[in-house]
Amino acid sequence: MSSRELSIHQEHEVLGKLENAGLNSELAQKIIDSRDNDLAKKVVAYIQRGDYDPSTSQKRAKEIMGASYMGPEDAIKHFGVSFTDKELIQVREIPFTEAELEACKETHILFVGYPLSILDMRSKVKNLFYNQDWYYSQSFAKKEKVNLRWYLIRKDEVPSSTSKTWQRQQSLLTSDETTPRACEVIFMVTLYFLVTGKRLLEKMYVRCSDLASVGLRVGVGDFGSEGLSVDGYSDDYYRVSLGLAAARK
């Protein structure tokens, strides 16, 4: 006989709660008869999302973006954060049009940010970071936090942005683009891996907008098996594996 997750006491408790909430014999039978246990799976998935039910706007965005969509439910599940009702209302609607999402679905990640610093994220998923300590005391790592809003950030570097200085890279941005902060790029890269198991920036670094205390521009990337790296580069420095990060405004 296979071992069971729930004790007999827990089974009775759960059943009692469901009955108090309106579960009757007819509804229970629907769960029992559900093909491939689909109804029960939906209930469990709802609980795992932290009782979070995506809005129509979010559901449509997920239809367009596919695996390139990460909503509040993903941050809740993988970063262990909790959104207040007020915060969920704040991010309920997607600020980008369907046309914008269609245009970006192959090149960008659409995700909702939650106020975490780089050090906050590192404490939650330390195994996803390369073993570095130089930035522990840096303001960009401990004070800068992701904003509570929707982001649309490139999966990789801006096209043709490698082997160029910071100034030349900036000239490649369109009027609809800006360079994101390191905490925002790291939030995207780590959460995307936790959700999909796929690595972004595996063999590439991208410059972000932050400056370290010594005046170097922060770059993140090289997300291999040893973890995501955070480094600094002078604005005049360039190399073939250093591109530019970009986000839609």
What DSSP line would sit under 126-139, residue for residue?
GGGB-S--TTTT-H
Neighbours of 100 (CB within 10 A): 17
- The pLDDT, as a whole number, for residue 1 is 43
CA dihedral sign of residues 146, 68, 107, 152: negative
Q: How far apart are CA 110 and CA 107, in angstroms?
A: 10
Separation in Å, CA 82 to CA 13, 71, 88, 93, 152 = 25, 13, 10, 18, 22
What is the chain's pLDDT, residue by residue, as a tens digit (249 residues)? 456 777 777 777 777 788 887 888 887 887 888 888 877 766 665 555 455 678 899 999 999 999 999 999 999 999 999 999 999 999 999 999 999 999 999 999 999 999 999 999 999 999 999 999 999 999 999 999 999 999 999 999 999 999 999 999 999 999 999 999 999 999 999 999 999 999 999 999 999 999 999 999 999 999 999 999 999 999 999 999 999 999 999
CA distance 39 to 26: 14
Q: What pLDDT score was predicted for residue 41? A: 67
End-to-end, the C-alpha distance of the chain in Å comes to 57
